[in-house]
Amino acid sequence: MIQPEMPIMEGPNCPLPISERGHIVIGHGSGGQMTHDLVRDVFQKRLANTILNTANDAAAIPATPPGKRLVVSTDAHIVSPLFFAGGDIGRLAVCGTVNDVAMLGAEPRYLTATFILEEGFSIEELERIVDSFAEACREAGVELVAADTKVTEKGKSDKLFISTTGFGWVESALQIGGEQAKPGDAVIISGAVGNHGIAVAEARGNLGFSSQVCSDTAPLNHMVKALLDADLDVHVLRDPTRGGLATTLVEIVRQSQISIELDEENIPIDKPVRKTCELLGLDPLYLANEGKLIVILPAEQAPAALRVLRGQKYGEGACVIGRVYESSRNQLWLKTAFGTTRVLEMLAGEMLPRIC
């Protein structure tokens, strides 16, 4: 009811809501029309599949086939900045969880995801990230079957957090795990280590120069499947993410109660990573990876495993880097080029650059 004496206002005025926005606003988390539109335009459009399309409160997924077990893994992904050379949080959120499921020798099938959005976050960036998320799902061969979005007030989160849960199936008879390494086994890495750690440090503006290093973020499940299809007696699969190769191998020596000796000269490290580490006083053995696979299996099967890995997209640089042996000390040893040895421990806290 407009009073005739009211002044005429210029420009758009309430109560008509602005429907086109470039940024996340609190209304996107209301559960109402705005939420609905965001889910439809940003997520469903990119991630459509028959299960997700049912749009019910929960997803019904096919039963685990006979002779297989269900494998589940969950992971929250927080990375700053959201985009870095070689990847972004979307690709990372898929690959991180897919790889965790694959490390039991399982075939990842389904994902669920929660996207926590900060008020003010750019929708264009969100779309790019969901594109990348969808592309990684296609590459890994997994389907997003359930998802949720939440919006926090500005300052209560940081742009975008993504939490994903992965489901996969593994042959019931398969016993792969960090506790399965046996004396006489060979330790294989699928390629050069340290790239993700350097790429993210550079994206944070922490290097002060361009290292030319790209993150290795990648799904490893096809490589794992190829290894298992080759009938290899794989004992351990692990992706050395945070804490790097050294920390992951220390976990394995403790779980399996054995020792491992690494040959420093055989550990593949790309030149730009090595140079950057030299300059900053970082140790590449402790830098994160997001697309590398540690394989531990009987030494006599190592040549066959290398052949399989090197035939895969993400395994061209695979090589044997060490051996497992019996020992009560359960330590990770590094044999240097000088023939001397030293113990590698877990990364203590945050890796800090040296002073001079």
Partner 1 sequence: MTGSLDKLRDASLTKAIMAEIRRITTQPWNIMEICGGQTHAIMQYGLDQLLPKEITLIHGPGCPVCVTSLEAIEQALQIAARPDVIFTTFGDMLRVPGNQADLFTARSQGADVRVVYSPLDSLKFARENPEKQVVFFAIGFETTAPTIASTILSAEKAGIENFSILPANVLVPPAMRAILSNPVNRVQGFLAAGHVCAVMGYHEYPPIAEQYRIPIVATGFEPVDLAAGILMTVQQLESGQHEVTNAYPRFVTREGNQTAQRMIAQVFEPVDRQWRGIGAIPLSGLGLRADYAAFNALNRFELSQTALRESPLCIAGQVLSGVAKPHDCPAFAKDCSPLHPLGAPMVSSEGACAAYYRYHRISE
Q: Which residues bind partner 1 (CB under 8 A)?
A: 206, 208, 259, 271, 274-275, 278, 280-281, 327, 329, 331, 336-345, 348-350, 352-356
- How far apart are CB 208 and partner 1 at their closest, in Å? 6
Give the tokens for residue 148. Answer: 């949720």
- Beta carbon nearer to partner 1, 54 or 341: 341
- Beta carbon nearer to partner 1, 68 or 274: 274
Which H or E run includes 332?
Answer: strand 332-335
Residue 105 CB contacts under 8 Å (≥ 6 apart), including other chains: 170, 171, 174, 176, 224, 228, 234, 237
- How far apart are CB 212 and partner 1 at their closest, in Å? 14
Give the tokens for residue 273. Answer: 């990573």
- Beta carbon nearer to partner 1, 106 or 267: 267
- How far apart are CB 349 and partner 1 at their closest, in Å? 6
Backbone dihedral angles phi then psi of residue 174, each to the nearest 5 degrees: -75, 130
- How far apart are CB 343 and partner 1 at their closest, in Å? 6
SS3 244: helix
- Beta carbon nearer to partner 1, 58 or 337: 337
SS3 218: coil
What does the alpha-carbon distance between residue 51 and residue 30 come to, in Å, rounded to a whole number?
A: 24
- How far apart are CB 348 and partner 1 at their closest, in Å? 4
- Beta carbon nearer to partner 1, 9 or 337: 337
Judge whether 325 and 198 are in contact, CB under 8 Å: no
What does the alpha-carbon distance between residue 264 and residue 259 come to, in Å, rounded to a whole number?
A: 16
- Beta carbon nearer to partner 1, 259 or 301: 259
- How far apart are CB 202 and partner 1 at their closest, in Å? 13
- Beta carbon nearer to partner 1, 14 or 354: 354
- How far apart are CB 79 and partner 1 at their closest, in Å? 18
What does the alpha-carbon distance between residue 276 and residue 278 come to, in Å, rounded to a whole number?
A: 5
Of 134, 82, 73, 144, nearest to 112 (Cα)?
144
What does the alpha-carbon distance between residue 311 and residue 300 come to, in Å, rounded to a whole number?
A: 19
